[in-house]
């Protein structure tokens, strides 16, 4: 019981700290929306510099999403949370979203990363917006602080969606099976 309380406390503390450190967690709704849009632009700029062909891929896709996520893994359990925005390239609309994840597996560490989803057709975009569920496995190693260190990120293509992950900071070694839920942020839309 004591370990469970400690774990829950650490998860809450880390999630709150990560959102606050990016400027997204505080302020009124307009300031939070602006913080998320700035995060999106920063992440896309970084992705384009690492993988230039993604600019054309994202521009010609039905839509895309960018999320910031803080993840903590304590021995057998993994927890995470974050915020993001989905862009429908057809109508130019943005939908602000939240995410939460839980997983099981072996590992330890804390990781702050960004994820970019590219929806190659409207069916994939609609599924994401309607269902907002992703289940999958992840194995990674990260030891990074700002520009120092290295992180093994990835690119995955599943069901007409390409996902890119960019690690911002953290120290983690983990192999987990996760379930992630994405939902519209009622305070920001």
Give the residue among 24, 43, 180, 176 at the shortest CA–CA distance from 109.
Answer: 176
**pLDDT tens digits, residue range 26-38?**
789 999 999 999 9
Residue 146 phi, psi dihedral angles, 5° rounding: 60, -125
Residue 189 located in a structural domain? no
Residue 75 located in a structural domain? yes
**pLDDT tens digits, residue range 74-109?**
777 788 899 999 999 999 999 999 999 888 766 666
Domain enclosing residue 21, as ranges: 2-184
Residue 92 located in a structural domain? yes
Is 137 a residue whose pLDDT tops 90?
Answer: no
The structural domain count of the chain equals 1
DSSP codes, 32-86 = HHHHHHHHHHHHHHHHHHH-TTHHHHHHHSSEEEEEEEEEEEEEEEEEEEEEEEE
Residue 80 located in a structural domain? yes
């Amino acid at each position: 019981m004591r370990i469970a309380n400690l774990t829950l406390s650490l998860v809450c503390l880390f999630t709150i700290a990560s959102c606050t450190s990016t400027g997204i967690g505080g302020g009124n709704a307009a300031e939070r929306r602006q913080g998320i849009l700035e995060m999106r632009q920063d992440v896309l700029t970084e992705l384009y510099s690492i993988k230039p062909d993604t600019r054309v891929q994202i521009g010609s896709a039905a839509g895309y999403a960018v999320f910031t996520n803080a993840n903590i893994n304590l021995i057998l359990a993994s927890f995470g949370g974050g915020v993001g925005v989905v862009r429908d390239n057809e109508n130019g609309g943005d939908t602000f979203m939240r995410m939460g994840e839980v997983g099981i597996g072996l590992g330890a560490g804390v990781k702050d990363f960004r994820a970019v989803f590219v929806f190659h057709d409207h069916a994939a975009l609609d599924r994401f917006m309607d269902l907002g569920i992703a289940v999958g496995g992840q194995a990674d190693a990260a030891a990074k602080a700002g520009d120092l260190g290295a992180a093994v990120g990835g690119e995955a293509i599943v069901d007409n969606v390409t996902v890119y992950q960019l690690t911002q900071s953290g120290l983690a070694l983990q192999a987990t099976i996760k379930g992630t839920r994405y939902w519209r942020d009622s305070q920001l839309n």
